[in-house]
Amino acid sequence: MRKGGILMHISSLPSEYGIGKLGKYAYGFVDFLAGSGIKLWQVLPLSPTSYRDSPYQSFSTFAGNPYFIDFDMLAREGLLDKSDYHNIEWCENERIVDYGRIYNHCFNILKIAYKNFKNKTQAGYQKFLLNNKEWLDDYALFMALKFENDGRAWYKWDTGLAMREESAIEKVTLNLSEEIDFFKFIQYKFYEQWGRLKRYANKKGVEIVGDIPIYVAYDSVEIWVNPELFLLDNEKNPIDVAGCPPDAFAKLGQLWGNPLYDWEYHKRDNYSWWTRRMEFATKMYDIVRIDHFRGFDSFYAIPYGNKTAEHGEWRKGPGIEIFKAIEKKLGKMNIIAEDLGFITPEVRQLVKETGFPSMKVLQFAFDGDAENEYLPHNYKTSNCVVYTGTHDNDTLKGWVKSSSKDTKRYCIEYMDLKGKWEIAWGIIRLAWSSSSEIAIVQMQDILNEGSKSRMNTPSTLENNWTYRIKQKDLTRGLVSKLQELNRIYGR
């Protein structure tokens, strides 16, 4: 079945509280998608964000982002009063997320809800604690300790805590019991609200496409609790870290800094941690996009301490073996393989063996060469997902403005357009008209917004992940335009 989708993170939704939430505007966006005939809503990772607020650098693989918990829903449950949160200045600009303000206020509001919650019947809560004990206990302790240590990374805590000495852990677990329960409550409310939203979307005929990073952050509960999963020394320092080598987009390469997996250990353990991760993700989402999929074939290793990614080496990943092990336990999964970047014949073969749809990004298509694999006439199978651009790309409008004359000329010729101002919408139509089973467009491109609205600029630290829309952007005219697009191209 041919489907069209829109890529927009929860953080980008409208709300009165500085960031998108899982409340009325999220349900309104589902209604907008369903009314437009859009069948897929793709979001970025929903995990709690760490330094610089990237969804791809999280404190936890399994936890949900507290910022997305809807205060109004908590108020209807009697856990908050509107006066607790309504008179706070959450942002200066409704189109930009101010993470500093949200961090300073959000947890204080949730603590009020937690105190009121303790007086309520907690049958559902106790069931949640039991069903998620495997990851929740460690995460709640980790976050309680992080707050106790003024937000510092775990490797800057006292040695006994950083190295998880038994006596030190027993002591803080007892002393911080109230704070630990608070962070468990946060996760309960996040997953309760997310579950309701997902069920509503599915009922409306909208599936959720989730996104999981291949790597985890160094300052994360996974590294702290399970160092054996990663290439670390005896003091839990990374031996090598992840990134990408220099290319046309980044002359010094990209130094992500994530610890690398000890794939030999995972193999001996029959990939049980990855199996749990994928099982969790497939329950959270209808379709799961795995970021940097090529890392399963081979990965770029940079010595820890290097300031750039210039001096690294490629190493062999687990290959098809990991997916055979996971599929044996979980069965077939709806996965999208993000196979972008430096792609070798071996990576292509791995994607082919898994049977997962690969990605085609139209912003990469118009270099003037008719053999370019991202041009729709070169798609050898419909088992692929075509994007106008991803969260790492400029908006279409911004891309057109910054592209060379030759690129613009080829776009115009390829799509038989009259001028450069038609290119952005022409590319959306091109995605929808392609043979690809799934076509996805960023919300910014549907709204024809410029570079200031891009979600992320790789290898930069400022002004990322802050994009937001307003409710007034979701017009009846836009609904009609998308309905027509879906009708014409059978999506």
Each residue's pLDDT tens digit, 129-154: 999 999 999 999 999 999 999 999 99
Identify whether the C-beta of residue 212 lies closer than 8 Å to the C-beta of residue 291: yes
Predicted local confidence at residue 310, as pLDDT: 94
53 is a catalytic site residue: no
Identify the three-state secondary structure at position 125: helix
Which spans in 226-344 are helix H? 263-268, 272-284, 320-330
Predicted local confidence at residue 249, as pLDDT: 66
Average pLDDT, the chain: 96
d(CA 275, CA 297): 17
Identify whether the C-beta of residue 361 lies closer than 8 Å to the C-beta of residue 439: no
Predicted local confidence at residue 56, as pLDDT: 93
Residue pLDDT, tens place only, 22-58: 999 999 999 999 999 999 999 999 999 987 899 999 9
| Catalytic-role residue among 338, 339, 445, 449 | 338
Mean pLDDT of 91-99: 95
89 is a catalytic site residue: no
* DSSP β-bridge partners for residue 287: 209
211 is a catalytic site residue: no
Residue 98 pLDDT greater than 70, yes or no: yes
| Catalytic-role residue among 94, 392, 422, 473 | 392
Residue 248 pLDDT greater than 80, yes or no: no
Closest to 66 measured CA to CA, from 211, 218, 194, 153? 194
Do strands 438-442 and 3-7 pair parallel, antiparallel, or not at all (unpaired)?
parallel
Residue pLDDT, tens place only, 303-351: 999 999 999 999 999 999 999 999 999 999 999 999 988 789 999 999 9
Mean pLDDT of 388-400: 96
Reading the block at residue 304, the tokens are 């820890």
d(CA 33, CA 205): 9
d(CA 385, CA 436): 6
Reading the block at residue 33, the tokens are 């998608």
Tell me which DSSP letter residue 290 carries: E
Which spans in 82-204 are helix H? 99-117, 123-131, 133-148, 159-162, 166-175, 177-203
Residue pLDDT, tens place only, 206-235: 999 999 999 999 999 999 999 999 999 999
Do strands 313-316 and 298-303 pair parallel, antiparallel, or not at all (unpaired)?
antiparallel
Predicted local confidence at residue 116, as pLDDT: 96
Q: How confident is the model at residue 419 (pLDDT cuts 50, 70, 90)?
A: confident
Percent of the chain with pLDDT over 90: 92
Q: How confident is the model at residue 243 (pLDDT cuts 50, 70, 90)?
A: very high
Predicted local confidence at residue 317, as pLDDT: 97
Mean pLDDT of 104-123: 93
| Catalytic-role residue among 138, 291, 297, 449 | 291
